[in-house]
Structure 1
Amino acid sequence: MTNHRNRTIITEVFFLGFESLTEYKVPLFILLFFTYTFTCAENFLIILLICRSSNLHSPMYFLIGNLLFIEIIYITNLAPYLMYNIVSGRWIIDFTGCLIQINVTIGITVVEIFLLTLMSYDRYLAVCHPLRYSALIHIRLCLYFVIVFWITSLFIISTIFYFLITLVFCGPIAMEHFVCEFTTFLTFACIMSDITTLNIYSLVLSALLNAPFFIILVSYILIIISVLKIRTSVGRWKAFSTCASHLTVVTIYFGIPFFASMVPGGKTYYNLMAAIYYGVPPLINPIIYSLRNKEIHKALQTAMSDLRKYFINKMHS
């Protein structure tokens, strides 16, 4: 860092979140490495099964595949930096890397929330309008939505990136966390180029992210009402099981930050909740979607059978 007229050119960002855990860096690295490897592997596996099996070429599985792909990007944006910091013992990240981490996190979060919203609408149609389902939603329509989601996300992060590079810092950036966070990053800026624009942009972004939550909530209220109208318990269970996996994912996704905000705690508590929020959804989402899913089980069995036949043919050729 070099000082010039009370302004500071920032080249590195320091993390203080895991300073007290430096003596546990070996088990931390092992835990993070295997968690990251397993998370990427299981997400890739489900994506490959969806791409490979014609039985899984439906709007629901198309959206699940996109969600799991996003989870891979999400955890890859954070885990390698953490593993490097654990090995090196230097809890730092270069300034450009911090900006990239912030923008990728925001961009992926935007697309993820939009995807969860579209998936809720898909489940609403499957439960409440099963006879018109194929006419109301299909893979091509979902593809158009996903493209719009990514374009919207790129526009948002481009605006945020431009704003962040105009910030002026008057001292070092030392976060009480283990990854770069947008709101914390802003607190270290002593001069903001256009605070009015930031306030307007924050309101627009907040509305943009709160609207999907409202749509998800309304979708599941309508689903519950529709399920309760079914007379038989078998019919109710069959209808509910159609959306149970997605409801679980949505509950975890929004439940963790809600719980963290409702229960006060110190730095260690906040970092623990952040680690759970960053690491748990990418790890358990593919398990939730495949645990009781007969179609995915069948696709996996078919893939294993084909792989076994391939190796047998190779051995005898």
Structure 2
Amino acid sequence: MNPRNDTEISEFLLLGFSEERALQPLIFGLFLSMYLTTVLGNLLIILAVCSDSHLHTPMYFFLSNLSFVDICFTSTTVPKMLWNIQTQSKVITYEVCITQMYFFVLFAVLDKFLLTVMAYDRFVAICHPLHYTVIMSPRLCALLVLVSWILSALHSLLESLMVLRLSFCTDLHIPHFFCELNQMVLKLACSDTFINNVVLYLVTGVMGFFPLTGILLSYSQIVCSVLRISTTGGKYKAFSTCGSHLSVVSLFYRTCLGVYLSSTWTHDSQTGAFASVLYTVVTPMLNPFIYSLRNRDMKRALRKLLCNTLSPQ
């Protein structure tokens, strides 16, 4: 018997990773530790940038914004999953599901824009060092972040409004640990999703293509500029200034590509859920370590912050 159409649905069921009760404490402990590490690590980055006047530059301004977005990004999914495990409930209301989906898309797209802005910042710093302070003025930096927020919010709002027009079936089981857009639109809707699919792939393609193109263009110019440097030491110094950012970009896009390929090549929803952990939890958790371990100024600022915090007054 086919599931009937029901436009008055009030809740979904998040299936998570496993039905085994014995595994729930392990999953809870693992995700709680990763979430706390993510929040603490990114919060330390923000505090270090704010407290050290040497880090009041465009590069670290964008980095602190990226850390804030990473905290918010992870907080849209993990706390609800931890709450469901703790209360032994899989329920998420329709309103909370739509809200979670909105903020998830918002911060995911915002991550891409901020990484693109940071690539542009490195391009100006290496290819136009004499004009860096003039080009990357505080006004332009604030404008770039503001535009990134606005575009991300509009994209997320469009996707959410497209979901609100749909009606859903009585089979409301989401084979994921959060309300992921594709799982809701493509798997659970009873109404026609053709327009949603067109908008989803068109807008997602545009929002993915232009940031990635901007990053690739910026680094192609950086590479060409660095290769023109005659000394080995000069080349190393130039590459070292963007090594951390390049590592984060590589990690973010490789995990996103892994999620896309896993959803394309396999119909196993559990595989997609596990792959999503890479960019929703693991990547935001690793970003602070990458920037702190590969950046001398950041390590100095973090040591200064910790010493000031732990030393008696």
Deviations 1:202-233 (A, max 9, x none): 42442133111111111111212222222222
Measure the CA separation in 2 of the matches of 1:218 and 1:179: 34
Q: Does 1:189 align with 2:189?
A: yes
Partner of 1:215: 214
> Which residue of structure 1 aligns with residue 296 of structure 2?
294
Which residue number corresponds to residue 248 of structure 1? 247
Instruction: Please say if 1:276 is aligned against 2:278.
Output: yes
Change (3 A) 1:203 1:236: same
Gaps of 5+ in 1: 313-317
| 3-state SS, counterpart of residue 304 of structure 1 | helix
**Letter of the aligned partner of 1:245 in structure 2?**
S
| 1:96 CA drift (Å) | 1.1
Q: Cα distance, 1:21 vs. partner?
A: 4.2
The answer on whether the counterparts of 1:8 and 1:171 sit within 8 Å (CA) in structure 2 is no
Contact 2:100 2:179 (C-alpha < 8 Å) held by counterparts: yes
- The Cα shift of 1:72 comes to 0.5
Is 1:24 equivalent to 2:23 in the alignment? yes
Take 1:106 and 1:271, find their aligned partners in 2: how far apart are those partners?
A: 16
1:256 and 1:94, CA in 2 relative to 1: closer, same or farther beyond 3 A? Answer: same
Q: Distance in 1 between matches of 2:153 and 2:103?
A: 9
Distance 2:309 2:112 in 1: 36
Matched-pair contact (CA < 8 Å) for 2:155–2:203: no
1:124 and 2:123 equivalent? yes
TM-score (norm 2): 0.90
Question: What SS does the corresponding residue of 2:13 show, helix, strand or coil?
Answer: strand
1:275 Cα offset (Å): 1.2
Does 55-64 or 134-143 show the bigger shift? Answer: 134-143
Distance 2:91 2:108 in 1: 24
Q: Answer yes or no: is the 8 Å Cα contact 1:46–1:65 preserved in 2.
A: yes
CA contact (8 A) 1:227 1:236 kept: yes
Partner of 1:315: none
User: What's the counterpart of residue 173 of structure 2?
Assistant: 174
Deviations 1:118-152 (A, max 9, x none): 10011111121112211111232111111122122
RMSD of aligned residue pairs (Cα, Å): 2.2
Give the Cα–Cα distance (whole angstroms) in 2 for the partners of residues 262 and 41 of structure 1: 31
Query: For residues 198 and 261 of structure 2, what CA distance do their matches in structure 1 show?
Result: 25
Equivalent runs, 1:45-84 vs 2, <5 Å: 45-84=44-83
Structure whose CA Rg is larger: 1
Paired letter, 1:130: P
Letter paired with 2:114: L
For these two proteins, the number of residue pairs brought into alignment is 307
- Pick which of 126-135 and 259-268 moved more: 259-268
Please report how far the alpha carbon of residue 294 of structure 1 lies from its aligned counterpart in structure 2 after TM superposition: 1.8
Are the structure 2 counterparts of residues 242 and 16 from structure 1 closer, same or farther at C-alpha, using a change threshold of 3 Å?
same
Alpha-carbon deviation of 1:35? 1.4
1:20-76 CA deviation, whole Å, 9 max, x = no partner? 443211121111112111210111111011111111100000000000000010111
Paired amino acid for 2:27: L
Structure 1 equivalent of residue 308 of structure 2: 306
Q: Which blocks of at least 5 consecutive residues in structure 2 are unaligned?
A: none
What displacement does 1:201 show? 6.5
Please tell me whether the aligned partners of residues 17 and 267 of structure 1 are also in contact (alpha carbons under 8 angstroms).
no
Identical residues among aligned pairs (%) = 34
